[in-house]
């Protein structure tokens, strides 16, 4: 079978992280089967659609590397197709007019959905629907409704598998009945369980807690300096698993192994702490070139490219989000950095010690981490003090902070001139 799947978002706001996972699972299934991934924009709700939201969707998919093979198709441009299909249902007696609207004659039999994830689900008509299960497919103003256009497009676009959020399971009986009315079998359905916050609440863009609401949109992860590869890797594991404990998985391997029956039936919890850890692993694995251009988008700019790259390499294993970069490495690029007053107050600096270290460092024939370390240790021995009494003031003088990368490597990267000038300038 030639697999054809689709992602069918409505452009009515930020791109929800759950929608992103739906897109990802469709993409993975298309790539796994060698099928086609179709992008369809469900923009029939004219009042709520925005151009900005459309761009957010397109940019989000591109950012994650979820390339589509067809589309984007826009429902707003397919009115004539819907008109013809509505006429077809009228002609075969499956649709009739009442109060100016076109209504679908819904089956009175229970509908069985053989969902590839949820299993067989029988949808009997509810109490309220028993007396009148029919529903509107074209409103009195001529605009077609979601259920109708969604099914017509899946039919026209020859979609073989509908992979979407579990919130649409309740619509599926209607959709299957519509397909049958057109005289065809429906596509296979795979409804993916929801993504929840760690506290079990629904991940919602309108959560009253602004921090939680923010994390429901993809934009937050772009802004915070997550790498698309890390977000994609994490989302792959939200509801799907390669059946071992590995967390970092190359996408080629996921594509090779991904299949629908393995998707877990229970809701997945979105653990942003774990994602952040994973992001740190991905940052650490970046090449110098990659880290360099990504850091530039987070404001790391310095004309001296070899120096800039050396700084970034030093910090690579120390950050979990790219947005941490300016704060963590600002002092490498300016002499006008802040000396943390709390750090000075906590462990006062002895200026005599600092001068002795400065003098020793000024005489070094080579400037590398090993030499800097052995000389600091030797000096501490000669002075009869703990190494910390030299390390702490030195770090403070050159970076203004008490934490950071390994001191000796930091000194090596900063270079002799910067280090000596900062040590001499430092007035605790």
Residues facing 6 on adjacent strands: 38
Of 106, 109, 74, 103, give the one whose Cα is nearest residue 90. Answer: 103
3-state helix, strand, coil split of the chain in percent (to 5) is 50, 15, 35
User: How is the beta sheet containing 70-74 ordered, strand by strand?
Assistant: 4-7, 36-41, 70-74
Binding segment for ligand GLU among 2-10, 95-103, 197-205, 301-309 (CB under 6 A)?
2-10
Binding segment for ligand GLU among 102-110, 161-169, 348-356, 370-378 (CB under 6 A)?
161-169
Rounded to a whole number of angstroms, the minimum distance from the CB of residue 203 to ligand GLU is 15
Rounded to a whole number of angstroms, the minimum distance from the CB of residue 40 to ligand GLU is 8
Of 275, 312, 278, 277, give the one whose Cα is nearest residue 294. Answer: 312
Rounded to a whole number of angstroms, the minimum distance from the CB of residue 39 to ligand GLU is 12
Asked if 414 is part of the footprint of ligand GLU (rule: CB under 6 A), the reply reads: no
Contacts with ligand GLU: how many residues (CB under 6 A)? 8
Rounded to a whole number of angstroms, the minimum distance from the CB of residue 150 to ligand GLU is 5
Binding segment for ligand GLU among 6-14, 58-66, 216-224, 256-264 (CB under 6 A)?
6-14
Length of the chain: 428
Of residues 168, 294, 328, 416, which one binds ligand GLU by CB under 6 A? 168
Binding segment for ligand GLU among 130-138, 160-168, 221-229, 315-323 (CB under 6 A)?
160-168
Cα torsion for 53, 56, 57, 61, to the nearest 10°? 180
Calculate the alpha carbon distances from 235 to 98, 215, 278 in Å: 46, 13, 11
**Which C-beta is closer to ligand GLU: that of 191 or that of 232?**
191
Structure tokens at 194: 């929801």
Rounded to a whole number of angstroms, the minimum distance from the CB of residue 41 to ligand GLU is 9
Calculate the alpha carbon distances from 127 to 108, 112, 168, 175, 398 in Å: 12, 18, 20, 19, 75
Rounded to a whole number of angstroms, the minimum distance from the CB of residue 60 to ligand GLU is 14
Of residues 10, 172, 233, 358, which one binds ligand GLU by CB under 6 A? 10
Residues facing 122 on adjacent strands: 112
Q: From residue 22 to residue 61, what is the string marking binding to ligand GLU with x (rule CB under 6 A)? A: --------------------x-------------------
Asked if 217 is part of the footprint of ligand GLU (rule: CB under 6 A), the reply reads: no
Structure tokens at 80: 């004539």
Of residues 4, 9, 420, 423, which one binds ligand GLU by CB under 6 A? 9
Rounded to a whole number of angstroms, the minimum distance from the CB of residue 8 to ligand GLU is 4
Pairing of strands 188-192, 161-165: parallel
Rounded to a whole number of angstroms, the minimum distance from the CB of residue 266 to ligand GLU is 21
Binding segment for ligand GLU among 4-12, 91-99, 223-231, 401-409 (CB under 6 A)?
4-12
How far, in Å, CA of 366 to CA of 371, rounded? Answer: 7
- DSSP-derived secondary structure letter, 337: P
Alpha helices in 157-250 (DSSP H): 172-181, 210-215, 218-223, 228-236
**Which C-beta is closer to ligand GLU: that of 82 or that of 408?**
82
**Which C-beta is closer to ligand GLU: that of 171 or that of 281?**
171
Of residues 31, 161, 164, 191, which one binds ligand GLU by CB under 6 A? 164
Alpha helices in 203-350 (DSSP H): 210-215, 218-223, 228-236, 251-257, 272-284, 288-296, 305-315, 325-329, 341-346
**Which C-beta is closer to ligand GLU: that of 42 or that of 229?**
42
**What amino acid positions are annotated as catalytic residues?**
205
Calculate the alpha carbon distances from 88 to 158, 183, 428 in Å: 18, 11, 84
Place of tokens 């619509």: 171
Asked if 150 is part of the footprint of ligand GLU (rule: CB under 6 A), the reply reads: yes
Positions touching ligand GLU (CB under 6 A) are 8-10, 42, 150, 162, 164, 168
């Amino acid at each position: 079978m030639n697999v054809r799947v689709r992602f069918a978002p409505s452009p009515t706001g930020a791109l929800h992280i759950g929608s992103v996972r739906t897109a990802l699972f469709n993409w993975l299934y298309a790539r796994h089967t060698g099928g086609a991934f179709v992008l369809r924009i469900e923009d029939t709700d004219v009042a709520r659609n925005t151009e900005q939201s459309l761009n957010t969707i397109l940019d989000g998919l591109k950012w994650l590397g979820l390339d589509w093979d067809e589309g984007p198709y826009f429902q707003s441009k397919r009115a004539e197709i819907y008109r013809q299909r509505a006429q077809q249902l009228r002609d075969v007696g499956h649709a009739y007019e009442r109060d100016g609207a076109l209504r679908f004659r819904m089956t009175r039999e229970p509908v069985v959905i053989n969902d590839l994830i949820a299993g067989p689900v029988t949808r009997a008509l509810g109490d309220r629907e028993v007396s009148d299960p029919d529903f509107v497919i074209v409103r009195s103003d001529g605009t077609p409704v979601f259920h109708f256009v969604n099914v017509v497009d899946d039919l026209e676009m020859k979609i073989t598998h509908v992979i979407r959020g579990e919130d649409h399971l309740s619509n599926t009986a209607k959709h299957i009945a519509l397909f049958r009315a057109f005289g065809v079998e429906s596509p296979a359905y795979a409804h993916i369980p929801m993504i929840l916050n760690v506290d079990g609440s629904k991940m919602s863009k309108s959560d009253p807690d602004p921090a939680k609401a923010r994390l429901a949109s993809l934009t937050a992860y772009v802004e915070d300096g997550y790498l698309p590869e890390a977000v994609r890797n994490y989302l792959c594991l939200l509801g799907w698993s390669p059946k071992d404990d590995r967390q970092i998985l190359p996408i080629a391997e996921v594509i090779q192994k991904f299949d629908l029956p393995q998707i877990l039936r229970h809701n997945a919890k979105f653990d942003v702490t774990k994602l952040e850890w994973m992001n740190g692993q991905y940052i650490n694995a970046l090449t110098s070139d990659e880290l360099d251009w990504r850091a530039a988008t987070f404001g790391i700019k310095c004309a001296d490219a070899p120096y800039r790259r050396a700084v970034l390499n030093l910090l690579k294993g120390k950050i979990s989000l790219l947005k941490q970069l300016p704060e963590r490495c600002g002092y490498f690029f300016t002499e006008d950095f802040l000396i943390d007053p709390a750090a000075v107050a906590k462990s006062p600096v002895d200026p005599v010690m600092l001068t002795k270290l400065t003098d020793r460092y000024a005489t070094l024939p080579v400037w590398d981490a090993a030499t800097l370390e052995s000389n600091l240790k030797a000096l501490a021995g000669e002075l009869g003090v703990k190494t910390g009494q030299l390390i702490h003031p030195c770090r403070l003088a050159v970076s203004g902070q008490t934490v950071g990368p390994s001191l000796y490597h930091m000194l090596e990267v900063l270079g002799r001139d910067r280090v000596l000038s900062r040590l001499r300038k430092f007035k605790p």
